[in-house]
């Protein structure tokens, strides 16, 4: 199970020092005051990276927990919520809103483009009576990247709280929580952060905290109640025993990012994504998206006479490589190259591109040249070809 090459848009590769950090002897996280300091310090470091002075929490549960917790904590019976839908995760917020009694209104657009702020503004001019809006930073099944800065500023102009799923954006894409006015920003440990799956990251603004505090009805549920975290540090009290080893691993992964420098990490993603997109096109395949490309994942159409599933099956059988197709209708149409976090490294990507190239050739597709050579042409500073 453990010797496969995994190049999916999360979970991503976990560096050895992160794996080792999870094996260090632990303390009692409920009783040892030092752990509260350690936990808060990890949260503060994350806050620094995503440019916020808001409170940051680490919750025990994979990224989906954050999406549900934000909806559970903000929604009261009958609240109107705007679901901004240009992707599968974007649309998927509606389930959580409804589950907690909210009334969903959609702003739905094509899944091949990012949200156009002007169109959203036209919509809001007619109807803007929403308690909050949900939005995805990078919607991973298609790889679309939304302009959070523009969209969140616009929503706030209309007095709408902003809830952003940045699970597949955070660390791989710029994220300026405070400047961009993101009330609740959500991340996950297993995407660009490159720690194992199992933790959610939440940053929450004072305004969102105030809305939660002033609810007329209690929040349904305990694990999804963001309100119970508000005074955890002052009271030295966690709602439940923290998964200390997971958090020690996350802390190391965050240190890895700080050591490299978030600016360098973002450039690394940009350079790789740019070269992947250009080389794929020149090679003769189409990108799924027309506009709004994320630097964390590239979604590539596979000719229907081959089929994405046949390609990924072949990659697994011949090269022990796990590559993802996509969800729903896309499952046999596209493959996703997940170049995020520790996977956004040339030396890891080169063999993957070679395997894709070889498998396509084997299945009868003739590309315009070698994919890796095309990639190298665009990735100007690095000329690494594995023969
Ligand atoms: C990965 C991801 C999540 C978490 O979802 P899982 O399906 O449990 O991995 C949430 N939102 C986005 C945009 C993601 O990419």
- Tell me, what's the pLDDT at 1? 74
d(CA 305, CA 273): 27
The class level of CATH for 16-259 reads: alpha beta
H or E stretch covering 188: strand 184-188
Tokens of 59: 């919750």
In the chain, which residues fall in CATH 3.40.640.10? 16-259
**Cα 64 to averaged position of ligand 1 atoms, centre (Å):** 6
Per-residue model confidence as pLDDT tens digits over 58-115: 999 999 999 999 999 999 999 999 999 999 999 999 999 999 999 999 999 999 999 9
**Cα 260 to averaged position of ligand 1 atoms, centre (Å):** 25
The answer to whether residues 78 and 106 touch, using CB atoms and an 8 Å cutoff, is no
- Tell me, what's the pLDDT at 382? 42
Does residue 236 come out as left (phi exceeding 0), alpha (psi in the -120 to 50 range) or beta? left
Q: What share of the chain is helix, strand, coil (3-state, %, to 5)?
A: 45, 15, 40
Sign of the Cα torsion 10, 13, 17, 23 reads positive
Indicate whether 229 pLDDT > 70. yes
In the chain, which residues fall in CATH 3.90.1150.10? 261-379
Strand 132-136, strand 161-165: pairing: parallel
d(CA 293, CA 265): 17
> Ligand 1: does its nearest atom lie under 6 Å from the Cβ of 251?
no
Probe residue for ligand 1, chosen from 8, 59, 63, 114 as the CB with the greatest number of ligand atoms within 8 Å: 63
Total-model pTM: 0.96
High-pLDDT (> 70) share of the chain, %: 98
- Tell me, what's the pLDDT at 139? 98
- Tell me, what's the pLDDT at 226? 98
Strand partners, 103: 80
Per-residue model confidence as pLDDT tens digits over 312-357: 999 999 999 999 998 888 889 999 999 999 999 999 999 999 999 9
The answer to whether residues 225 and 219 touch, using CB atoms and an 8 Å cutoff, is yes
Phi/psi at 29 (5° precision): -70, -15
H or E stretch covering 133: strand 132-136
Tokens of 182: 């993101």
Per-residue model confidence as pLDDT tens digits over 33-63: 999 999 999 999 999 999 999 999 999 999 9
d(CA 193, CA 350): 21
Per-residue model confidence as pLDDT tens digits over 152-166: 999 999 999 999 999
> Ligand 1: does its nearest atom lie under 6 Å from the Cβ of 188?
yes
What is the band of 383 on the pLDDT scale with cuts at 50, 70, 90?
A: very low
**Cα 195 to averaged position of ligand 1 atoms, centre (Å):** 14
> Ligand 1: does its nearest atom lie under 6 Å from the Cβ of 168?
yes
- Tell me, what's the pLDDT at 331? 87
Q: How far is CA 1 from CA 91, 195, 316, 323, in A?
A: 33, 18, 12, 15
Average pLDDT, integer, range 141-155: 98
- Tell me, what's the pLDDT at 328? 83
The answer to whether residues 67 and 88 touch, using CB atoms and an 8 Å cutoff, is no
- Tell me, what's the pLDDT at 2? 73
Q: Considering only CA atoms, which residue is closest to atom 13 of ligand 1?
A: 139
**Cis check: omega of the bond before 173, within 30 degrees of 0:** no
- Tell me, what's the pLDDT at 49? 98
d(CA 347, CA 179): 35
- Tell me, what's the pLDDT at 282? 98
> Ligand 1: does its nearest atom lie under 6 Å from the Cβ of 357?
no
Query: Residue 93, SS3?
Result: helix
**Cα 67 to averaged position of ligand 1 atoms, centre (Å):** 9
> Ligand 1: does its nearest atom lie under 6 Å from the Cβ of 200?
no
Atom of ligand 1 lying closest to residue 140 CA: 15
**Cα 144 to averaged position of ligand 1 atoms, centre (Å):** 14
Considering the domain 261-379 in this protein, what is its CATH number? 3.90.1150.10
d(CA 292, CA 329): 20
Mean pLDDT of all residues belonging to the chain: 96
Strand partners, 144: 139, 293
| CA 309 distance to own-chain centroid | 24
High-pLDDT (> 90) share of the chain, %: 96
- Tell me, what's the pLDDT at 225? 98
- Tell me, what's the pLDDT at 211? 98
Distinct helix (H) and strand (E) counts, the chain: 14, 13
Strand 199-204, strand 55-60: pairing: antiparallel
């Amino acid at each position: 199970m453990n010797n496969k090459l995994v190049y999916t848009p999360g979970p991503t590769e976990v560096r050895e020092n992160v794996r080792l950090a999870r094996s260090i002897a632990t303390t009692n996280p409920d009783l040892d005051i030092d752990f509260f300091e350690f936990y808060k310090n990890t949260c503060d470091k994350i806050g620094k990276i995503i440019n916020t002075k808001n409170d940051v929490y680490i919750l025990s549960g994979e990224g989906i927990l954050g999406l549900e917790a934000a909806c559970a904590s903000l929604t009261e019976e009958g609240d109107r919520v705007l679901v901004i839908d240009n992707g599968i995760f974007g649309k998927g917020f509606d389930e959580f809103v409804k589950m907690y009694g909210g009334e969903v209104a959609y702003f739905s657009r094509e899944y091949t483009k990012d949200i156009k702020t002007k169109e959203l503004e036209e919509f809001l001019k007619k109807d803007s009576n929403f308690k909050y809006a949900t939005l995805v930073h990078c919607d991973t099944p298609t790889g679309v990247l939304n302009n959070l800065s523009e969209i969140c500023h616009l929503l706030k102009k209309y007095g709408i709280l902003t809830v952003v799923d940045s699970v597949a954006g955070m660390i791989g894409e710029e994220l300026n929580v405070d400047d961009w006015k993101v009330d609740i920003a959500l991340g996950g440990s297993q995407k660009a952060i490159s720690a194992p799956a199992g933790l959610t990251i939440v940053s929450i603004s004072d305004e969102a905290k105030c809305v939660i505090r002033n609810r007329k009805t209690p929040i349904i549920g305990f694990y999804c109640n963001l309100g119970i975290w508000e005074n955890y540090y002052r009271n030295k009290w966690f709602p439940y025993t923290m998964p200390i080893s997971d958090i020690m691993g996350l802390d190391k992964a965050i240190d890895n990012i700080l050591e490299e420098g978030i600016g360098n990490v973002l450039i690394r993603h940009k350079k790789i994504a740019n070269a992947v997109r250009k080389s794929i096109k020149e090679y003769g395949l189409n990108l799924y998206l027309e506009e709004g490309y994320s630097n964390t994942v590239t979604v590539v159409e596979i000719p229907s006479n081959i089929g994405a599933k046949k390609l990924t099956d072949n990659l697994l059988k011949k090269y022990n490589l796990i590559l993802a197709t996509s969800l729903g209708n896309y499952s046999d149409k596209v493959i996703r190259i997940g170049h995020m976090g520790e996977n956004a490294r040339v030396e890891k990507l080169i063999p993957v591109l070679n395997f894709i190239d070889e498998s396509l050739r084997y299945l009868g597709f003739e590309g315009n040249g070698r994919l890796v050579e095309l990639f190298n042409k665009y990735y100007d500073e690095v000329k690494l070809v594995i023969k």
